[in-house]
Each structure stands twice: as C-alpha cells, then as structure tokens.
Structure 1
C-alpha cells in the first residue's frame, strides 16, 4: 500500500470509528488530516474533516462539529467530488439538528439526496427521518425509516441499521406502540453487541429504558439508564437527553428533589451546548418545580419553553408547554382559569398525541365546570376522560378512574364513586408492589393521595364512622406493609454497606476530608441505585387488605383505638371501643400545629446539660401549654379516659409525645402507622405472649458514656441466654446475626436521623453506621426492640402518608413492638428510664404498660429526667403482654 493509499485508509478508519469510538476517531483523524494536507490530498482531507466533525458531534462539541463538517463539504466540492460532498452534508445536517437549526438541516439533506444513490442515499434518509421526527412529522419520519432499513440490511451496514432501528424505536414509543418499539431496540442492541458498536448500544439502552419507564417498570428503566451512562462515561460522551429521561423517571416516582436537580443539570448542559432540546428540558423543569411548590420557577420555565417552541414551530411540544403554564395558573388562582380554556388545551394535547396530559386537562375542565355549576359540560368532560380507565399505562388508567369517580359523585352515585376510587387505588398499589426499593414505593404514595382523599372526603360527608375508618386506612402508608424483596444476603449490598462503614469510621477518626466525603457520597449513591434497581414482589396481582372496624375490635379487648384523620386543615377522629365505632369532629388543626412547632425546642432545652432555671421554667411553660392543647383537642372530646390507647396518628401528629398529656400519665399508650399494621403486629406477637424463643441481645455502641452500664443493667434482668455485644464486638455483622430471631433486642447507641435520605438513618456501632438498609436484610425479625438512641423513633415523612426510618423498617420486617425516642435524649437519665422499663417488662408487663410506669416514676426527678421520659414512645403491638 502506497503513502496515498495509507492516508486514505486512515481517514476512512477514522470515519468508521467516529460514531462508535469518538476518542479513537479524533486521534486517527487528526493524523490523517495532517498527512492529507501535506500531500494536497483533498479527498482524504474531506473524509478526515468529516470524521473529526462526527466525533466532535458525538462528544457534544457542536461548534467544532459544524466547523469541521462545513470544511469537509467545501473541500469535497473543490475536489469535484459531488458524492463525497453530499455525504458530508448528511453529517452536517445531524450537527445542525443538534444545534436547533432544523430547517437548515432539512435543506442540507434535501441537497445531499440529489447527489446520492444506494447505501449513501439510505444514510441520508436515516438522517432525514430524524429531522422529520424533531419537527413532529412522525408519520413521514416512520415512512422514511421503513424504506431505508431493508437497503441497509442487504448491504450489511450494521452501524446505520442500528441508527435506523433506534430512531424507529423512538417513533414507536411516541406513538405508544410499545411492543414494536421493544422489538426494534432489542434488535439494535443485539447488532451492537455482535459488531462492537459501543456508543450506538448506549443510545439503544437509553431508549429501551425510556420504553420501560413509559410502561411503569421503574427498576428495569433504572438498570438500562445506568448501563447507558457507564458506556457514555467510558467513551467520554455527555448525553444531555439521558439527564432528561432520568429526571422524568425520578419525577414519576415522586423523587422530586433528585428530579429537579437532574432537570436543572440538563437545562444547564443544553444551554452550554446550544442544543435543540433545551425547551424540552425547560418544560420538564416547569413540571417538577410545580410539584415542588415553586410556582415562580414553574411559570418562568413554561414561558421560556413556549417562546422557544413557537420560534421553532414545534407545535406538538408547544401544546405541552401551554398545558404546563395552565397548571401553574390553576394552582395560583383557580378562578382565573375557565373550563373552556382547559377544554381547548385538552383538545390540543390529544391532537398532538399527549395522552396523559390531555387526560389531566380534561379532568381539570370537568372539575372547573363543576365548580361553576356547569353540570352538563362537566359530565361531558369527565365522561371523555373516564374512557381511558380500562387500557393503557397505569398512570393513565388511575387518572381515568379519578375522572370516573368525580363523574359518579357529581351524579349522586356515591357507592359507584367509591368503587371507582378503589379501582384507581388498586392500580397504583399494584405498581408500588412491583418496586423492590422501599424508597421508591414510599415516594410513589404521592400518586395515591388524590384518589384516596376523594374517598376520605366522601366518607366524612356520609358521617358513617366505619366508612371514614376504612378510607382513612386506605390513605395511610403502604410501605411498611410490603417487605423489601431482595436476594437473601445480597452480597453486592453487603459489600457496599461494609464499604460505607469503613468510610464513615475513617471520617470519625481522621476528620471529614474532601476525599472521604466524596467517597461517602459515591458509596451511598451506589447503595441507593443498587436497591432501586431491584424488582418488587411482582408475584401475581397485589391486593391490599384493609382492616375493618370489626377486625380491629376483635383484638382490642379493653383498649380504645383512636384513628386521627386530617382533611382540609380540619381534624377528625374515629374511635373503636367495645366493638363500636364513633366519628368525632375535633376542629381546626391550627392550635395543634402551633403546639407541635414549639415542642421540640422545649424538650431539647430540658435535655441540655447547661440550662438556666429561667430556661427550664420557660420550657416547662411551653410543654404545659402544649400538653393542655393536646389533651383538650385530641383526647377529652373522645371520652376514652382510663383505658389503654392504640393511637393511629394523622400525617402531622406523628411526633406528639403522648406521655406528657395529663390524661396519659401512667397510662399504656401504643402508636402505629395504621390500624391494619397494629392488628398484624398483634397477631404476629401472639395474643398470649407465647413467642419466647431466641436470646435476649444487648448492644452498647461506641462514644456513649453510659452505654455499657445500661446494657449490663438490662442483661441482668433476664433469665436464659443473653448475648452481650460491647466494644469491638458490637459491629454490624455480629449485631445483625444476633438480632435475627431474638426475643428482645436492646441497643444503647448514638442515633443519626438523615432527612436527606432516611434510609441512611442509622445506629452507630463499633465499625460504623448500621442503617435502615442493614435492618431490611434481617432474615427473621426480632420480637421486641428497644432503641435507646437519639431520634431512633422519629422517621422522616415522604409523600405525605409515608414515613421512613429505623422503626418503620423494623415494623415492615415483622417486629411486633418497639420502644424508641422521637427526640435526642440525655444519656444518664435514659439509663434510669430503661432500668425502670425493663424491670416492668421482666415482671410480665406489656411494653406500653412498662414504659408508662417507668415514665411516671422518673419524670418528676428533674428536667433532664422529664425530657428522657417524654422522648420515648411505644410502637406496634405494645399492649400485648410480653412473656420472657
């Protein structure tokens, strides 16, 4: 081979690599460019410049890409190589599309097609189809791809066949032809695997992830997005659309904070690279900001998207942007939006193929019409919206059932409306059950709220306590009812958790250096992502069993169950006593919310080591006022004095320290996330307390002055086998092994509540944090757990009805009863409280009774003792006798 042939071959090789290995292609193309210029070889120079342009385009250096490709066209024309110039125009059109110059790109392709025939013409038509897709001309785009794919397959042109399959897969997704889309994308991935096409494979995996996201298969979508991202990183390619797709998926499961951060990163990347998809990213940011309650950002992003779509004549997406702006307007001032405007928006969205937003706008029109007394128009809107309830994605069907519920309610068909709500809720709950990650299931509860609140509102209107009880239960969190489904002793998760403990231990001993902090963030992200990718139950159809009043009454005995219900800032309660349910309207939430706001500060002041008499007096005044408010509002109207209490709190009442209420002094009180979960806990514990197998386990964590003394004091009170884990022996592996199947676990340790990610809330052990993720790995739950660790009983609320934390994890694993504090508690005084508690427990008292007696015994010893006593609550089946 001569020098000229070698230069030509190098240029062609660079062009072959440009779309699959851009880094290699740029190195090869620069060498070919230099050699071609030195020899005056215009043909090879044009090919090398095209390779540089394509590689730069893949790496999102669009200014460089356009410059290289324009030069490739010019050099080829000067050389009289019309076909070569046309092929360079095809690549230039791709870069112009990414820059947002869609009309200019279409002109380049039209010019190129006049010169091209055969396979090169097929390449140009693949690009033509992509441009038509960007312009919203989906039918034309699909027709073009159908004609070129056979040409590429016959020619064995695998790289371009993959591009065509990728494009057609996206077209099928937009048209909601999911089976056809999956077939195309799986074929594209197979071709990429067979022919080592790394970058096209990443694009195909990303698109397949979008397909699974649209079908509601969140774990599968996350796996594919992660695979695509890893390939992009290996190839040093930044793909902004992956950020948009990931943000959209995160929003679908209501991980709003992460979704917003990801969408903002996508907008910034699109602005930097001047990409055509910038308005789509702005539109997504508008939606996320609206869900996040940031109306200003939502409106601003929607307005910007509208202007940009108008300037580019992208009518399909313009309809979506106008809908986003309308949603902001409805939240800001509902009366300013007419039903007609919402109706026109629904029509525009339906014509553009936006099924879910069209449904939302149609329901909005119906509700606005009902609000204005336009019943006939409202019925027509809701009838049209409800037609989607039997087919399509889960989100569409659930939304359609809500429209059907509104319609039946407006027609006076109360029982039919409630059946519609029930059907919609089942759809969402089945979707939740398919998710393996507790975090994803919890956040998806936001999708249930609108439907469940319809049921709660209608039940309250009826005044029937059993109906209110049932629908309030239906709205309460589902996460604790679904045990996480993971492979037994997941080795990947175990290794990641061990890595996190090593990192956190190093931070404690050496200080939080930037490298260690970065490592902590990276490991926590790996743990989070690994768990999110796990499938849920997925075994058949999930049916949530809601405990009825009679189910609960059968287990109560002499106790009274109080289920609090909030709706529209008003508080209600259903009491179950002696088999009878009663409904009580307790009034506005105003005083309760105000008292709850000041309560933590007062308890913290009492628990402090340095507190002045004046500070103590002020704190006690705040506590006394709060206790009086709680007693007067929450208990006195219910006439439940003297009896043990089972309390199911409403969303904002989970942190009430019930023991400070005068009417709860010395009274057994247990708290549960739902009446159904309380009943399950009672049944699991055994009504006669006969489950006594397994050892007593006492754990003393590091850095807590009186932990060893507390643990030894507890251990001495129980006969039979006792496992003592102190010092270096109190590590995660030993603690987890000892906890599994034990009859009683007492942990004296520091507790860390993580509001940024409650699943990393932890107990501090000898080798680092023992997190919620660790607790979820227990094979057999312990029977009773005492967490003498600050904040261990306080979870973090997500999505309204869900709370994540250490106690929720144990309840979901099947632990019947727990005792834990909801505030930071003083160390020495906690020891005294725990000694009194275990004395009562060992004597045969129920956990709630033992705790109430212990609290009453020490609360008047001093302010710190009062804070320690007030901080602890009993959770679960706390009224069931505990036999050692």
Structure 2
C-alpha cells in the first residue's frame, strides 16, 4: 500500500509540468492517502506535484503555499534531497511572484542539498530565475554544466526545459542559429515523448525567434500553434499574448496589438506574475503609437514603479524611455537633447538596441532644433553606425540618422542617398510578406524616411526630384503583387463558411451565436492569410516611372502628382515631357470642404428632402467645387487636356467630376504614376467575356444589369441565385469587362473584409485576391464599393486597391457614398460611351455631364464616381 501511494505521488509529479489538470487530481488523491498512512515522503512529493501543477495553471499563490509545505514535510521526514527538489520548484514560483530575493535563497540552499541529476535540475531552475531577471550571461553559465548530466540520465522533460530556456537566451543575444537548433531538438524530443505543454513553449519560442529575424508570417503561425496547444490544456499564457502583441506592433497592426497587450496585462495581473510591468510597458508603447497619450503615460508609470520595486535595472531604462517619448509628443519643448541622450546611454548599457537608436536620433533632432549642430552631429553619427547590421527596424533608424547627419552638413544629395538606402531596406522587408495586410501596415515604418526625402526635394525645388520622391513615398501595397497559389482550398472553405454565416444572420438567425461564429471565422481567415510567405529574402528593387516614360504614354494628357508636407500642398505636373513644381498652399480649406460633401450628397439624393434642404445641399456642393477648382487646378493652367491624377493622402476621396474645370473632361485617378504607367502598357490584354452581375437587396439592380447586358452580345449575365461567389469569381477571372450592381460595404475595422453583397453572402477582398487572372475592366456600381480605408498613411486597403494590386488596369467606382439604386441612368450612359470606342475616363465624364442636370438624385449619384487606373486607354471589344 505504501509503495502504491509513493508511486501515485511520483506519477503526479511527472505529469505536473505536462498535464497539470490531470496531475492535480492524481496528486490530491495521493496526498489524502499519504496522510492517512502517515507517509511524509509521499506527502512531500504530492504537495510538490500540486505546487508545480498550480504554477502551470497560473495560480502562483497556491503554488507557493503547496511548495513551502512540500519543503517543510520533507525536512520533518529528514529527506534532505526531497527538500532540495521542493526548494527548486519553490524558487521558480517565488521569482514568478516577484520575490527575487527569497527565490535566490531557496535555490542556493537547494544546490547545497542536491547532487547528480536533482542538482542539474536545480541548475536549470536557477538559470530560469536568472533569465526572468534579465541576467542572460549568468543564466547561460548555469545551464552549461546541467545539460550533459540530464542527457546522460535520459531525462527528456528537464532537457526540454533547459533547451527551451536556453533558446530564449540565445535569441536575446541574437544567436539565432543556436536558438533554432535548440528549439528543433525540443520539438523532436516533445514529439517522441508526448510532452504537449513543453511543445507549446517550444512553438512560442520559435515564434519569438522568427519575429526577431523579421519573419512575421512564420512567427504568427508559430504563435497560433502554441495557442492551440495551450487551449487544449486549458491554459491562458500571458507571455504568448505579450509576444504576439510585440510582433503585431512590429508590423503596425496597432489596434490588434493594443487589444492583445491589454489581454496580457490582465492575464499577468490575475496570475500575479513578475512579468506584469513588462506587459504594461508594451501597452504604453502601443498606446503611444495609437496616439492615446494618457494611456501611454499611465502604463509607463505603472511599469516604472514596478521595476523600481523589484530592482530590475535593465528594464528601468526602457520604462523611462517610454515616459520620455510621451513627453516629447505632448510637449516637445519640455525635453532637452541631454535628457534624450542620457536615455540613449542607459538603453545602450542595458542592451536595448532599437530603443537606444531611437533615443539617439531624438537627441540629434532636438539638438538641431535648438541650434546645437555640434551636439546633433555627435548624436546622429553614433546612431548611424548601426546601419549595416541588426534588425531591419534598427538599421532603418540608423539610415535616418545618417540622412539627418548629412543634411546637417549640407550634403543634400548624400542625405537623399541615405534615405533611399533606408527605404530600400524596408521595401525588401515588405517584399517578404505575402499578406497584403502585413505589407500595408509595415509602410508606417517608412514614414519619417520618406517625409525627409520629400522635404529635401522640395527644398531643392527641382520638379523631377519632387516627383521621384513623391512616388517613393507612396504605398507599396498595389505594387507588390500577392504571393499565393492560384487557388487556396483551405481559404476558399473558410470564405464559403463566412458567407453562409452572414447569410444566416441576415435571414434572422440566432444572433449572438452567429456573431460569435463570424468573429471566429474572420480571425481564422485573417490568420491563415498572414502566414502566406512573400517573395523571400533578397534584394527588391522598386521601379519608378521616369518622366520620359510617362511622356511617351501620356500623349496630350497631363499628369498631376499631388504632394503633402506639413499641411501644405504641392503639385508636380508633367506635360509633353516637361515637369513643373507648383506650391498650392495650405490644405485646410480643401479638407474642410471635403468633410461636408457626403452629407450634402446624401441630402440631394434623399426622397424626403425639402426644397430648402435641396437648395442648401446644392449650395454646399457648389462652394466645395469652386474651392477645389481654385486651389487644385486653376494654378496649374492645364487648359482642357485629359488628366491623370495621383492624389495625395487627403485628396483620395475627392470627386473630380464636380469641379467646374472637370465637367465633361476625361480624368483618371491612380495611386501612383508607376501603377498608371504599368496599367496603361498592359491594359489591352486578350479579350475575355463580358460579365454582368446583380446582387440581392439593391433597388433597380436587376434592371440596371439587364439594361447593360443588352449592349454586349454573348455576355455572361448572373442574376438572382446565379450571382453566387463561386460563379462570379469563375466568370470574373480574365474577363474583358465586369459590371457589378450590388451593395458594397467598407469595413474600417478590417478593410480586407470590405465586400460586395452577392446571392450567397459577402464577396470580400480576400475573395478578389484569389482570382486566378485579373479582369481587364471593372465597374462597381454600388455605394461604398470604391472607397478604401487608410491603414498606414500612404496605404489604402479596399475593393478597388485589391483589384488594382491584382493587375486590373481600370475601374469605375464611387469614392464617396452614393445613393443605392440610383445608378441606372448613369451606367446606361457610361456603357453607351464605352461601346462606341471611348476610353473609360471619357465615357464616364460624358455620362456624368449628361445625367448631372436630370435631377438632384442623379446629380448626387454621378458626383461620387471616378475612373481609376489606366482610364485614358480605350477597351478592346
């Protein structure tokens, strides 16, 4: 009987680190039996098993209590080795609770009490304590003698624990090859010995490794696998949330990063973990990027107090830097170059490379602003030394420092070369991302470099240079094509499931359960696509359209490239190969007028709007149109030639047809001159079918589709149930023209779920990215179908940018909300123009001119549509 009790207690201890819930049940039964039998040794082992299981289940209070009792019972039994083993576990629980001093005393005592394999286990635990406290070199030294002993003893659990911990230490030292070797060994050991929880730790650590190397899709995939293992074991792991939040922030998915960081803070707080202030510090950084200064300051202060209390000096520097950053944003004059410089020194001593560079660049910038060039030069020179090694973010900051340094020395050409090198580095990194979303959000890292390039070019005053740097500043999402197999069956199944769920919700299904399912499916789709690889590491050269190339393609048309800097607006025009630079003045008036336009158009389209309301709305529209004309076009003196417009960030939603100078004038809008040039050269592919689609629930959609279809013999007409996602996608691939009359929705929370409503549910951006071949011309005759959501300054995501990015040369769509069901007249006139050989831009301008005076609803509808892409090139029929 005594032997059985001891065996049960030992089995509970073996399971405690890998199956904590099951171990807890077995240990409680063994503890009751051991007490009844008066077996103190078995009691100690059972209490230790309960303590270790509680640690794994994140109940540190119970863990410390159980493990102290395990030590006490072992000592009463005179079992020195058992006491030492219990102390080893107790030390770990204490350090996780923030009691570093008591933890060290326990592990030192344990090392005196233990020999052989138990002593080696204690050394592994000692290393883990040192690791939690950031003492990397000491932790590695503690692990070094332990691993050979554990291997000879055939102890896979503790060998796995040691290797897992050592991999993180290698990652901190940027010894990535050594870290990967350890983790692959761990995965193999866990697979062979059925160690599910350590396997989860290994997957999490692989995610950290891949994130450190800039392999974001692979990192997110590893985190997902770790979460799946933890979920099966019923665990919430704060460190996984923290690691994922840090990775999301690295690609500027700020909203998700903040939610994940907040979840990490809550998890650590519930578990009373020493890691809580680190999560608070991360939350401060995310909140600062998001612009929430109050939350950023509060989280930084909380972290600072905790690091001071626990004497974690290496993290104090980070917390002070976070607080300094908040002060700089709130009141730049309150921070001196010396304060930023001291922060950089403290961070460098603590080994924080990227924040140290950031603080050094801040010090240099502040010194320049205060007229201290010698100090600025010294700071920027130190920061610039990191441009040839280290993570991409650090190297790009170093190139920014080098550019600022050369600027301060009057070397403008050299400064532009430095800016170019930093941008090229970031663009190569973006090219490794297969997911559109990740590429788009990474553009945020390019902001300071690109703005400096534009600023220098504007100061130089040469139109060609301003044009080139304005192009360089523009987003790359539509330039870097998605890297994905022509058809992804797993993604197709998920999208079909989402459509079915949304259709059931619209038909009055059980809302809470279905909303929950929608959220879960959208996350699975998002995470699946994020794991798509890009074109791999290596040089990426972003091509730019030269003025000569543009001139050859433009003919008599004019290109206008609008440029924003510090709320001022500029334009570069290209006509017959000659580039001119124009300063247009402040943007304030244009932006103010743009804000009121949707309201005015909505009132014009309203069936119940009073005559007085119509008159007021027309007045708003007239004033706005006059302002746009006066500020944006009159100073350029472009006569009546066709226009190719590359709008700046705040002009993307401008409806050009309402400008008096643009009435009846062919205007095509493009995200960049490069994209327009490529689209114009490749916009006359082999003719495919004409596809006309009518979605459900849109007034006059069927009438519009049937009217348009009459103009195209042999067309594919998809109405009613035939207009489902699968049939529409098959018909669209490689088609000559696609006309879609359907409801459109813009999802500002995740623009890749912006969608057209088809018979079986939403047809999203993810569906468009699955098309095997792009259609040649697309008309989206639906409210909100043409609008996009800005996600990182110069990047916009939505249905139209997805199509342009996939290679569709031209589109016609609304860039501001238009009334549903009022597009029939405009679309009939548009297709009449197309069928007579007019270009899309010319056909749209003529149709808008003819319908704008028909009535207020028709005016509101016509106003919102623009031609996008290579709109000056006629279609082939």
Fold shared, TM-score > 0.5 on shorter chain: yes
Residue 691 of structure 2 is aligned with which of 687, 697, 716? Answer: 697
- Is the counterpart of residue 391 in structure 1 residue 385 in structure 2? no
1:50 aligned partner: 48
Distance 2:78 2:484 in 1: 64
Distance 1:448 1:315 in 2: 32
- Distance, in Å, in 2 between the alignment partners of 1:140 and 1:752 is 56
Q: Is the 8 A contact 1:175 1:353 kept in 2?
A: no
- Of 703, 708, 711 in structure 2, the residue corresponding to residue 717 of structure 1 is 711
Contact preservation (8 Å) 1:362, 1:382 = yes
Superposed CA deviations along residues 307-335 of structure 1, whole A, max 9, x for unmatched, are: 11011110100011111111111112222
Displacement after TM superposition at 1:131 (Å): 1.3
Distance (whole Å) between structure 1 residues aligned to residue 78 and residue 842 of structure 2: 96
Partner of 2:400: 402
Tell whether 2:171 aligns with 1:178.
no
How far 1:821 sits from its partner (Å)? 1.2
1:304-315 to 2 correspondence within 5 Å? 304-315=302-313
Q: Which residue of 2 aligns with 1:542?
A: 540
Tell me, yes or no, if the aligned pair for 1:783 and 1:815 is still in contact at 8 Å. yes
CA displacement 1:659-694 (0-9 Å, x = unmatched)? 1111111111110000110111101113xxxx4521
Structure 1 residues 15 and 539: CA distance shift in structure 2, 3 A: closer
Provide the residue aligned with 2:31 in structure 1: 33
Offset, 1:606: 1.3
How far did residue 540 of structure 1 move? 4.0
Which runs of no fewer than 5 residues in structure 2 stay unpaired?
Answer: none
1:529 counterpart SS class? helix
* Corresponding residue SS for 2:739: strand
Shift of 1:824: 3.2
**Higher alpha-carbon deviation: 375-384 or 657-666:** 375-384
Name the structure 2 match of 1:585: 583
> How much has 1:427 moved relative to structure 2?
0.7
How far apart are 1:277 and its partner, in Å? 0.4
Q: In structure 2, what is the Cα distance between the partners aligned to 1:175 and 1:622?
A: 61
Structure 1 runs (4+) greater than 4 angstroms displaced? none
Does the 8 A contact of 1:46 with 1:73 survive in 2?
A: yes
Q: Which residue of 2 aligns with 1:854?
A: 847
- Once the two structures are superposed, the pairs formed by residues 770-809 of structure 1 within 5 Å of their partners are 770-809=763-802
Confirm whether residue 472 of structure 1 aligns to residue 470 of structure 2: yes
Task: Give the Å deviation of 1:37.
Answer: 1.6
How far off is 1:35 after superposition? Answer: 1.3
> 1:708 aligns to what?
702
Matches within 5 A, 1:120-269: 120-269=118-267
Please tell me whether residue 69 in structure 1 is matched to residue 67 in structure 2: yes
* 1:440-496 superposed Cα distances (whole Å, 9 cap, x missing partner): 100000001111111000000000000000000001010001121112210110000
Q: Secondary structure at the match of 1:481?
A: coil
Write the mapping of 1:224-623 to structure 2, written as runs, cut at 5 A.
Answer: 224-511=222-509, 513-538=511-536, 540-623=538-621
Which residue among 22, 25, 29 is the counterpart of 1:24? Answer: 22
- Contact kept in structure 1, 2:486 and 2:771, CA below 8 Å: no
Structure 1 residues 184, 828: closer, same or farther in 2, change over 3 A? Answer: closer
**Cα separation, 2, equivalents of 1:711 and 1:6:** 80
Deviation, structure 1 residue 725: 0.6
SS in structure 2 opposite 1:544?
A: coil
1: CA distance between counterparts of 2:638 and 2:40? 94
Q: Which residues of structure 1 form unaligned runs of 5+?
A: none
Following TM superposition, by how much is the alpha carbon of 1:539 offset from its aligned partner in structure 2, in angstroms? Answer: 6.6
Distance 2:249 2:538 in 1: 26
Aligned-residue offset at 1:883: 2.8
- Structure 2 Cα separation of the partners of residues 878 and 107 of structure 1: 75
CA contact (8 A) 1:346 1:362 kept: yes
Give distance in 2, aligned partners of 1:216 and 1:55.
35
Q: Which residue of 2 aligns with 1:751?
A: 744
1:357 Cα offset (Å): 0.8
Give the Å deviation of 1:828: 4.3
Q: Deviations over 1:403-459 (max 9, x none)?
A: 110111111111111011000001100111101110110000000111111100000
Equivalent-residue separation in structure 2 for 1:26 and 1:591 (angstroms): 68
The yes-or-no answer on 1:103 pairing with 2:110 is: no
Aligned equivalents of 2:537 and 2:568: distance in 1? Answer: 39
Structure 2 CA distance for partners of 1:600 and 1:826, relative to 1, 3 Å: closer
User: What is the rounded CA distance, in whole Å, between the counterparts of 2:428 and 2:876 in structure 1?
Assistant: 38
Residues paired across the two proteins, number: 877
Contact 2:280 2:300 in 1 (8 A): yes
Distance 2:778 2:424 in 1: 33
- The separation in 2 between residues aligned to 1:828 and 1:704, in whole angstroms, is 6
2:873 aligned to which of 870, 874, 880: 880
Secondary structure, aligned partner of 2:144: helix
**Which residue in the other structure is 1:84 paired with?**
82
Match of 1:761 in 2: 754
**Corresponding position of 2:830:** 837
Deviations, residues 38-79 of structure 1 (Å, cap 9, x unaligned)? 211111111111111101110101111111111111111111
Structure 1 match to 2:728: 735
Q: Separation in 2 of the partners of 1:615 and 1:49?
A: 78
CA displacement at 1:512 relative to structure 2 = 5.9
On the 8 A contact 2:473/2:794 being kept in 1, the answer is yes
Counterpart contact for 1:584–1:638, Cα < 8 Å: yes
Query: Deviations along 1:205-247, whole A, 9 cap, x unmatched?
Result: 1112111101110011011100111000111111100111000
My pick for the range that moved more, 669-678 or 366-375, is: 366-375
Contact 1:206 1:225 in 2 (8 A): yes
1:648-663 to structure 2, matched below 5 A, reads 648-663=646-661
Q: What's the RMSD between the two structures over aligned residues?
A: 1.1
CA distance in 2, matches of 1:829, 1:64: 67
Contact 2:687–2:876, Cα closer than 8 Å, also in 1: no
Q: Which residue of 2 aligns with 1:826?
A: 819
* Aligned residues of 2:655 and 2:816 also touching (Cα < 8 A): no
- 2:145 is paired with a residue whose SS is helix
TM-score (norm 1): 0.98
1:636 corresponds in structure 2 to 634
- Tell me the equivalent position of 1:814: 807
CA contact (8 A) 1:136 1:315 kept: no
Where 1:777 maps in the other structure, the secondary structure is coil
How far apart are the structure 1 equivalents of 2:173 and 2:308?
Answer: 23
Deviation at 1:271, TM superposition (A): 1.4
Give me the TM-score of the superposition, normalised by structure 2: 0.99
Kindly state the Cα deviation for residue 144 of structure 1 after the two structures are TM-superposed.
Answer: 0.7
**1:59 counterpart residue number:** 57
Contact 2:735/2:775 (<8 A) preserved = yes
Evaluate the alpha carbon distance shift between residue 354 and residue 540 of structure 1 in structure 2; reply closer, same or farther with a 3 A threshold.
closer
Deviation at 1:511, TM superposition (A): 4.3
Out of 112, 115, 118, the position equivalent to 1:117 is 115
CA-CA distance at 1:134 after TM superposition: 2.3
> Is the partner of 2:113 in helix, strand or coil?
coil
| Shift in alpha-carbon separation, 1:336–1:97, aligned structure 2, 3 A | same
